[in-house]
Structure 1
């Protein structure tokens, strides 16, 4: 075999933790199940559908924000961290989510948005009142430059300056996202303690962990230094579309600050008595993997993080995945990744990479074989494509701002489809907040349950396969190689060694099997059987073997 790239990553602990290698199912609550007919999903709708989620064989659910919010950014603008928005139900409804999930053997992780709040949060209402109130320093305030312009060149992810003028204090406040999402000041000890108390509130309520939104945005440079420009050849669209000027800067000072590690250690210490785990979203286009490695190194920082390498527009190849694993080994070998191919912020990967059904199955199987934990986004298990939402139906302010070159995130957030022949595919008896297409109706759960060849059953088989093999759950990854379209690696844990080879192309390929006794596993995933030391792989076919004896 002509190896293009080789790498080895060694695990740091033999002891099994529930999150290590877990499969986590993301729920976008507005779009999962509506229980009261208002066209918006809610917590009781999630309770209703938890048995379905358990049937997939996943370990945990991650629920996107359901806190009190004016919904300018659909819950990622929090007005009360410790209550449920009436749109989604009540705290009692959330308790029902916890108790039902626990009975089904599912862990519950919730989405904490700690970097910023809504401008309607009582903290900000008080902070903006004047410069001397008790919360005056809880947000990032700055005087204007001598000419009245913002204090530096920092940009918002949603377009334009990251600074907004406030006439009450005659100062600018910082917002990495919408102007209605002011950034909290993590240099203020009281802010950190208040946010740790938010984590304590939900841990006491029974959650098993957190997904931490924009984890690398928490701390800003105290000196407010301007970011340097980024050379055009280094720009990419991993976290922002290329039409967004945010990509023109190297974000050295508005995020990614070393002081963030101190807060993460404090948060880990709060979580430890509850056996809770956190997965952080690392939003950085140039240093995402490096930051992931920093934030998950050792036992006192975050448990897992994910960067955007498999959430980008670049169609993965055997070579690019081998290079990705090599880079993870270099900058994050002692950490723990959480891989995802789709979520609520990016075009669904079926459409983003223009995958055939065979290719989609191969990538689903591959995801279950990579070292790390894995996140699945609702509807991914059905093979749902992106929806082309008409401009007049758009809800996402990001898409409205950059339309039509970037159409926003509504196309991946349309409601889950349950019953092929039901009104609104069984999501709601009222008009859904985003449209449901006929193509999605045809891919509904009810239509796939009776078809053994459907994507839904493939995901169930792939998840079950992962859980059977400890090497896949928590083992090392070794000897990652790419030869043409064939990606090969070994997963090793204790006495178990699994050989994984994937043909990630349309043409037939072959792979030479290392010497020794190997047994075919994953027959239910169309695993090829080697003959005379060689496995012939059809298009998008894996070969999965376990060392015998």
Structure 2
């Protein structure tokens, strides 16, 4: 747990993401709610994390599961009341947990009063609060920008006889950050939640805020470029140099940081989806201490699972970002769960889950866990008729969407709907999750849950893992080797990504090793060699 009075508590903190509609239902409508989160706070606290990131619970038509906000300062009745939120914050603080909420500032719902007024005419007070543009002479959209969720990023409005920009659903119009009145209004909504005691904000699609004023066409994407977008989606065929990641965004982020600093020990973490430019964007957004505190990218949220990929990603961050900070995550509500993503068909997903938390706890940076990963949840297999994700429905069957990682938590193996709800859940409970329910694992020292608790405790006890530098060592095969160092402590961290045994030769100038007592280890030091079984970890003190 973090020191509540420490302004830098966010640096190297452990965040636990809660997707409220899938966490715990207390009203019997099949959808999780804020009171359900409060009810299960003891589980979160037992892990030894520092903060909770709450996915959106604001008033919304729920076209995109709450990422289409119609009132930034109201709790949607699906999730409860503002009093329920206040109670959640109070209980979390009592348990030593901080609350980070998800702010969706780049766009609103088309039912937000701001947009309703904006689309009514070209000359009303909020006419310029969203991104409007005239059609080309032939009636086509003003440029070639695409929506992440498919098709053009422009939607025709018959009243204004103009197109409006939407980077996601047509019902999620983009706000015009070139208008200072829009920035002022959004910052006031942030202040509203700061006044209610929140400790930080996760900023959704933080590099999408500002668009190119000239509305220039995006160029094509080089065929060899890395991409965060599924190959089924034409969005990945463009270099998104004009529709997002504009330099003017830095000015807004400075205003945002100034507001947070008025309230003391608060934090911010931005979601950066920017393909090849992601680490450069993280550097720009976090360096200097006057913008965001930290960001996360999709580098380790991809299917790649190898020592080389992790080293490449971490070293790229270390080289690109000098005084900024990163938050590493392996799973969240937008990607397939890593226990499945990184396991071979029919493989041991529990083994992968344990190995992954070993690695995450040893990386330099803050870390974010996603609900259910501490129980070893795999990606759920959702039938098309059960899908709720508009992204998945649009690109089925080439891309199955995000519902497979959003299914309800399993609390009690023998209870109706695994203890999540007394009603039919909004997404089906995965039967393999029921077998891994929290009550099954609670008293099993060999469980994924027990392993998470012990590894997170080990991380807290080692200053080098919390705040140390990181430097990589050479290794053969699929072995990752690096040293974490802080003050007079040096730790060697070894990870064998292969399923077969491997050996790592200890450099003569490294010094003697004394292994730390890990929750699970199948590594052994023999002379100048460390023997590692498949998917195993070694952490040892140097000297």
Match of 2:278 among 275, 282, 288: 288
The equivalent residue for 2:398 is: 405
State the distance in 2 between where 1:224 and 1:546 align.
55
Shift of 1:244: 0.6
Further displaced range: 385-394 or 320-329: 320-329
Q: Does 1:41 align with 2:32?
A: yes
Aligned positions of 1:64-463 closer than 5 A: 64-234=55-225, 236=227, 238=228, 240-274=229-263, 275-314=265-304, 316-354=305-343, 356=348, 357-463=350-456
The equivalent residue for 1:3 is: none
Aligned positions of 1:488-507 closer than 5 A: 488-507=481-500
Q: 1:63-107: CA deviations, max 9, x gaps?
A: 000000000001000000001000000000000110000000001
User: Which of structures 1 and 2 has the larger relative contact order (alpha carbons within 8 angstroms, sep 6+)?
Assistant: 1
State the distance in 2 between where 1:481 and 1:62 align.
36
State the distance in 1 between where 2:21 and 2:291 align.
31
The equivalent residue for 2:463 is: 470
State the distance in 2 between where 1:131 and 1:112 align.
28
Shift of 1:16: 7.5
Q: Does 1:532 align with 2:527?
A: yes
The secondary structure found in structure 1 opposite 2:519 is helix
Shift of 1:531: 2.8
Q: 1:109-137: CA deviations, max 9, x gaps?
A: 00000000000001101111111111111
State the distance in 2 between where 1:129 and 1:379 align.
44
- Is residue 343–residue 352 contact of structure 2 (8 Å, CA) maintained in 1? no
Shift of 1:496: 1.9
- Is residue 318–residue 483 contact of structure 1 (8 Å, CA) maintained in 2? no
**Hey, which bits of structure 1, 4+ residues long, moved more than 6 A?**
none
The equivalent residue for 2:517 is: 522
The secondary structure found in structure 2 opposite 1:39 is coil
Q: 1:370-395: CA deviations, max 9, x gaps?
A: 01111110000111111111111111
The secondary structure found in structure 2 opposite 1:421 is coil
Instruction: Compute the TM-score of the two structures, normalised by the length of structure 1.
Output: 0.95
State the distance in 2 between where 1:472 and 1:221 align.
41
Uncovered stretches (5+) of structure 1, i.e. residues with no partner? 1-14
Uncovered stretches (5+) of structure 2, i.e. residues with no partner? 1-5
Sort the Cα spacing of 1:170 and 1:52 in 2 relative to 1 into closer, same or farther, 3 A: same
State the distance in 2 between where 1:23 and 1:491 align.
18
Shift of 1:235: 5.4
What is the number of equivalent residue pairs in this alignment?
A: 531
Shift of 1:248: 0.8
- Is residue 300–residue 313 contact of structure 2 (8 Å, CA) maintained in 1? no
Report the RMSD for the aligned CA atoms in angstroms: 1.3
Instruction: Compute the TM-score of the two structures, normalised by the length of structure 2.
Output: 0.96
- Is residue 126–residue 133 contact of structure 1 (8 Å, CA) maintained in 2? yes
